[in-house]
Structure 1
Amino acid sequence: MIQSETYDVIVVGSGAAGALAALRAADLGLSVLIVEKAHKYGGTSATSGGVMWIPNNQLAPSDDDRDKTFTYIDSLLRGPVQRDRLEAYVDEAPKMANFLKSIGVPLTQAAWPDYFQNAPEARADRSVLCDTFDGRQLNDAQFVSMREQYNRFKIFRRYAMDIGEFFAISTKGPGWVQVFLKMVWRYWSDITTRKLSSRDRRFTQGGALMGHLFKQIFDRGVEVRTETGLKELIVNEGRVTGVQVNNFGRLYEINATHGVVLAAGGFEWNQELRDKFFTVPGLTRHSSSPEDANRGEALIAGMNIGAATEHTEAGWWIPTMHKPMDSASNFEEIHQAAFDVGRPHSVCVNRNGKRFVNEACSYDEFGIAMVEDQQKTGANTPCWLVFDATFRTKFTAGGFLPSMIMPDWKIPSDCWDHYIFKANSVDALAKKIHLPADALRRAVADMNRYAQSGADPEFGRGSNAYDQMFGDANVQPNPCLGPIDTAPYYAVPINLGDLGTKGGLKANSKAQVVDDNDQPIAGLYAAGNNSGSPFGNLYPGAGGTIGPAATFGYVAANDIAVKAGKLEAEPSDQARPGGKKAVA
């Protein structure tokens, strides 16, 4: 042990939740230390799409308001939630966004439809993006030490894409070739950065958000201490007063005068906790969050001192698939298939050869459908994405790029009949992947009829704005329904993957961690995926993970500052206007 240190606030974790807690606390005059167990900072948020779902965000003229937001959310809730916590999120999220705008973080509304377009008061202006960040605004050490985006968010494992570029290239939209060539030129003409790192100086998507946040954090003198993992919480006379951390096996303590904020991610990489909490556990290796990163240390530390938990039965689901790493085929990479499964000229079936979902729905709903079908039939997780040569030409299938970029002859031979399957007929494909041929033939024939009519009477695929956003505008009458009729035919297995966990430590409307009697544990706060989602088992729109994470990081810092005499208290939560009463 070494002599301990003292800060006003210790933040455990460096993703969006931790970054907002640290930034807001530092801005209010508190001394802050961020501890991060990984060797790079930025957390899972830096590898994400970087979108925040912020209803009534006031970033542009809009008629959205509090009542419309609750009309939408209340029509979708699947079970009990803490009503005051949900209301706190809806009320505080716009304030968090306004705070970021006020200090120069460039937030903009994204024209991204809410995930349930048939629900009352669904909109397309509640998701918020952060403009691209020039990584060279950081010093050299900070630039190379921020967690980098996955290769799946890059072109040729090199060129970073923002959301607009992603859509232009993935859907082959107008001018996509020029978009790509501009990216290439911008990268190679940046000679100074090429001398330092192969990383693109353009931080996009989650990298853009975290780049802007950490530029502000570093400007305020906050230290980010990497390779420093939480071991346990220190409790004195019923109050959390610090943390014990582990740095390469060296244990030491750090004191927190006013509060510890747990923002260390969920437990998706802990198989024991998955088996304990999830209804269909799935495997850690199917997660699309950074490998072996979020193992639930903060959740375990909180539980060890009597903290309650909530919503631990579900993850933020996303369909994923594996593919061998380039030039190292005995190692695998995980690839998201969030939008691939809903493209035209394809169908998803369970291992009985039957459809079970609107394939173009949101990725979380797709995962929920996999869970429900697995519980019902035992023939899901994995399921199969089946497609034809037309799909193969146009679209990605997880890590397999369109054939115009990655023709079949470029796919390594050890991928065939292991990671991707191919046959000259639907029946032959069914035999290869061990599905009932008659069932698969029927599913394909049904989709071909639906493509002709433009309507999917089974699941309504392509019937709303969200579905159509990821379709092919050149396919009519329904951009999400194209015939599966051009040989050869292909299939890839689709796993029940996740972006993290929806449940964790139970925290109240002020982000205070509570015990089994709903009493706050003094000095302890939680935000992000190591706390329960305010929505329960619901993902209302793009950014439904990072929006609450950032908001409750902000809320935690405000409550700490009030108790430290750095900020005037706002009126009681009881004064919140409108909204429904508590949900039991």
Structure 2
Amino acid sequence: MPERTWDEECDVLIVGSGAGGLTAAVAAADLHARVILIEKGRNFGGTSATSGAVLWVPDSHLAEAAGQQDDPVDAVRYIKAIAGDESDDILIRAFVENGREMLSYMSHHSDVEYVSIPYPDYQPEAPGARSGWRSHDVVPMDGRKLGKDLEYLEPPHPSNMLFGRFVWNTIDASMLVTRKPGWIGAMARTLWRYYSDIGQRLRSKRSRYLTGGNALIGRLKLSIDRRGINIRRETALVEIIRDGAQVVGAVVERHGRKSAIHVHKGLVLAAGGFERNAALRARYLPQSPNPDWSGSQSNNQGDALELAMSVGAATDRLDSAWWAPAVHVRGESRSRPLFFERALPGSIIVNQAGDRYFNEAVDYHLAGRAMVENDRPGAGTSPSYILFDAGFKWRYPMGPVLPMMPLWMHSRAVRDLVFVADDWGEMADRIGVDRDRLQATITRFNDNARQGRDSDFQRGESLYNRIYGDPKITGNPNLLPLVKAPFYALAIYPGDIGTNGGLVTDGNANVLDTEGRPIGNLYATGNITASAMGRSYPGGGATIGPAMTFGYLAARHAMGVNEPR
């Protein structure tokens, strides 16, 4: 390589300001690294900031402190059971063995604060699963601690807020959605927090009470502030410089000015997936080609992924994503995933033949994957239609359609999405399915619902299904017949909350080349990588848990702490 002039130098350069990148920054700084952290967007926090920020870490010290026992052997067995043959034993073990260490370190050495919660694994009947305490909820924080930086924190996704505006925590959200005992108090707390902050209301609609992803990223931002690390916003990675077997630097660009950074120990790619790139979706995700169906934020274009590929990095499972059925509201920058609404009683999903084709109450990843895998001529699933009756409409939310609020009070964009009919024959005509087929589907489902048993797809039999059921319904909390007119329908699409195929890494988050050899000094974590979970989604927080764990491992390995894995 010819002699090169460098504009600046560092030990560790981190690309991306989500949970994985910020965790890497904390870990590297604590090992006395000179850290540069860049973010190409105007805002910091990435997809992590828009998420619920639940963290899936088996056998954590927080679960243990809550009196809950776990076994890392069971956790590995569970992941392998649901991930199947495409899972990578090295990555699974690296995550399970080090996730606990990462969470303990961040709990004791940063502002990050979590609590273990009784939220079950997504497939709790699988071998090695647990009925709770592997998922963790971030502790809310006061956004005023961020000062002026609050303005640049990526806002929460509307799907993670009450009525698309009011922030809530996991426990209050569960109460409000299903109207569990205490939901009125939860509603009052949520609204009071928002409207009582009069000073902020005079300036902005945004809440200074930070929960979910905003709380996690806010806490991580405070942590890097204490270490003297700035986030260089609106700064994009445009070139990775490789010399022989290792990466030695990078070129970044800000406002049209390029600069070359000499990287001595590690370039950590934590830049998210490619879900918002139309060309890459057309190439790798033809079953879900429209970037507007994604619930992820718009900066995830896959540019860092392609740059890594240009210097020889290997990739895997580029046809995979963290799937979720989604509704796209005209004028919004991203879709609204249906995370929990499908499980609520009094609704079903049908394909373009008018048939049900899966258990609507499974987790969003399995639901979205069912939409992808069942799409076939004559029985298309893109779009599918989620149907509900007037009783459901009054009691529960359905994406952008709010409960207890007449349809005419919704925005024009939302009203335009909703099909309304006085009977199922009329609804069949409106959504374009066969009248007799749809009526037969409704009749069969209603008969089963009255008996409290879904003999076709076993809805409501899994512990996870029942988390988002209505406990006031005796028998099966996920089933009610659809009988009260008017009837409603929304078109839903196979959307996602990010891609989960990408760069191939080892147990230290070191990127591998196409021959399976580590590329020196090049690391990756988060949705830019081929997930340790394969195509599976073990539980709430199974994206952010590994992202933070492998960000932690990447920093430590780059600084010479971890032995090769």
TM-score (normalised: structure 2): 0.95
| 2:126 corresponds to 1:116 | no
Contact (CA 8 Å) 1:451, 1:477: kept in 2 or not? no
For 1:200 and 1:413, locate their aligned partners in 2 and report how far apart those are by CA, in whole Å. Answer: 25
2:319, 2:181 → 1: CA distance?
A: 43
Q: How does 1:403-418 map to 2 (within 5 A)?
A: 404=404, 406-412=405-411, 415-416=414-415, 418=416
Report the more deviating stretch, 470-479 or 278-287.
Answer: 278-287
Match for residue 578 of structure 1?
none
Distance 1:238 1:333, change over 3 A: closer
Q: Tell me, what secondary structure is at the counterpart of 1:39?
A: coil
Q: What residue number does 1:149 align with?
A: 156
For 2:29, the equivalent position in structure 1 comes to: 26
The residue that corresponds to 1:339 in the other structure is 340
Q: CA deviation at 1:339?
A: 1.2
Look up the equivalent residue of 2:280 and give its one-letter code. L
What are the ranges of 5 or more consecutive residues in structure 2 without an aligned counterpart? none
2:77 is the counterpart of 1:76? no
Q: State the 1:214 CA deviation.
A: 1.2
Amino acid in the other structure paired with 1:513: V
Q: Deviations over 1:523-564 (max 9, x none)?
A: 1000000011001111111111111111100010110111xx
> 1:92 — aligned with what?
98
In structure 2, give the amino acid aligned to 1:136: R
Distance 1:252 1:204, change over 3 A: same
Q: What residue in structure 2 maps to residue 268 of structure 1?
A: 275
**What do residues 318-373 of structure 1 show as CA deviations (whole Å, max 9, x unaligned)?**
11102245xxxxx6752221211221111101001111110000100001111110
Instruction: Tell me the amino acid that sits aligned with residue 320 of structure 2.
Output: A
Q: How far does residue 294 in structure 1 lie from its aligned partner after superposition?
A: 0.4
Q: Which amino acid aligns with 1:21?
A: A
**2:265 alignment partner, SS class:** strand
Residue 338 to residue 47, structure 1, CA distance change in 2 (3 Å): same
Q: Distance in 1 between matches of 2:33 and 2:478?
A: 51
Please state whether the residue corresponding to 1:386 is helix, strand or coil. strand
Tell me how large the CA RMSD over aligned residues is: 1.9
User: How much has 1:223 moved relative to structure 2?
Assistant: 1.3
CA contact (8 A) 2:141 2:209 kept: yes
Distance 2:257 2:24 in 1: 26
Give the one of 304, 308, 316 matched to 2:310. Answer: 304
Q: Deviations over 1:84-134 (max 9, x none)?
A: 121111101100011111124222112111111221222111111210011
Using a 3 Å threshold, how does the CA distance of structure 1 residues 467 and 24 change in structure 2: closer, same or farther? same
Task: Give the alignment partner of residue 242 of structure 2, picking from 220, 230, 235.
Answer: 235
Corresponding residue for residue 61 of structure 2:
58
Q: Is the 8 A contact 1:452 1:477 kept in 2?
A: no
In the alignment, residue 119 of structure 1 is paired with which amino acid? Answer: A
Matched residues in 2 for 1:99 and 1:204: separation? 21
Partner SS state of residue 75, structure 1? helix
1-side partners of 2:97 and 2:155: how far apart? 32
Alpha carbons of structure 1 residues 71 and 445: separation in structure 2 relative to 1, 3 Å: same
For residue 434 of structure 1, what is the aligned residue in structure 2?
432
| Paired residue secondary structure (1:457) | coil
8 A contact 1:322–1:399 mirrored in 2:
no
Shift of 1:175: 2.9
Sequence identity percentage: 36
Q: What's the CA shift for 1:487? A: 0.7
Out of 430, 452, 455, the residue aligned to residue 453 of structure 2 is 455
1:133 to 119, 135, 141: 141
Structure-1 residue corresponding to 2:263: 256
Rounded to whole Å, the distance in 1 between the matches of 2:412 and 2:239 is 48
Structure 1 counterpart SS, 2:511: strand
After TM superposition, give the deviation of residue 515 of structure 1 in Å.
0.5
Q: Deviations over 1:194-252 (max 9, x none)?
A: 45543211110111111111111111101100001111101223321222112122222
Amino acid at match of 1:351: Q
* Aligned AA (1:88): A
2:214 alignment partner in structure 1: 207
> Is 1:266–1:530's contact at 8 Å kept on the other side of the alignment?
yes
**Is the 8 Å Cα contact of residues 140 and 215 (structure 2) preserved in structure 1?**
yes
Given that 1:313 and 1:503 are in contact with CA atoms closer than 8 Å, whether structure 2 keeps it comes out as: yes
Judge conservation of contact 1:361–1:467 (CA < 8 Å) in 2: yes
CA-CA distance at 1:506 after TM superposition: 0.6
Compared CA separation, residues 376 and 113, structure 1 to 2 (3 A): farther
Once the two structures are TM-superposed, the CA of residue 253 in structure 1 deviates from its matched residue by: 1.6
1:553 to 551, 554, 558: 551
Instruction: Tell me whether 1:43 sits opposite 2:46 in the alignment.
Output: yes
In structure 1, what is the equivalent of residue 357 of structure 2? 356
* 3-state SS, counterpart of residue 84 of structure 2: coil
**Measured at CA, do residues 457 and 297 of structure 1 come closer, stay the same or move farther in structure 2, by a change above 3 Å?**
same
- 8 Å CA contact retained: 1:79, 1:537: no
Q: Which residue of 1 aligns with 2:291?
A: 284
The equivalent residue for 1:579 is none
Equivalent residues in 2 for 1:312-323, closer than 5 Å? 312-323=318-329
User: Displacement of 1:415 after TM fit?
Assistant: 4.9
Secondary structure in 2 aligned to 1:485? Answer: coil
Alignment length (residue pairs): 557
- Contact map agreement 1:324 1:333 (CA 8 A) in 2: no
Whether the 8 Å CA contact 1:287–1:498 is kept in 2: the answer is yes
What SS does the corresponding residue of 2:14 show, helix, strand or coil? Answer: strand
Secondary structure in 2 aligned to 1:129?
strand
User: Cα gap change, 1:195/1:9 in structure 2, threshold over 3 Å: closer, same or farther?
Assistant: farther
Q: How does 1:355-434 map to 2 (within 5 A)?
A: 355-375=356-376, 379-402=380-403, 404=404, 406-412=405-411, 415-416=414-415, 418-434=416-432
Give the structure-1-normalised TM-score. 0.92
The 3 A distance-change label for structure 1 pair 194 and 475 is same
Q: Which runs of 5+ in 1 are unaligned?
A: 326-330, 574-584
Q: SS of 1:112's equivalent?
A: coil
CA separation of 1:332 and 1:54: change in aligned 2, threshold 3 A: closer
**Alpha carbons of 1:555 and 1:414: their partners in 2 closer, same or farther (altered >3 Å)?**
closer
Q: Which amino acid aligns with 1:244?
A: V
Residues 52-83 of structure 1, C-alpha deviation per residue, up to 9 Å, x if partnerless?
Answer: 11111131332211211122222212332321
1:581: which partner in 2? none
Cα shift readout 1:151-187 (whole Å, capped 9, x = no counterpart): 3333354421111221222222223233222233323
Distance 1:237 1:75 in 2: 39
Q: CA deviation at 1:192?
A: 4.3
CA contact (8 A) 1:349 1:355 kept: yes
**1:308/1:506 contact within 8 Å kept:** yes
Q: Structure 2: which amino acid aligns with 1:385?
A: I
Q: 1:322 to 1:69 in 2, by over 3 A?
A: same
Residues 139 and 464 of structure 1: is their aligned pair in 2 closer, same or farther, counting only changes over 3 Å?
Answer: same
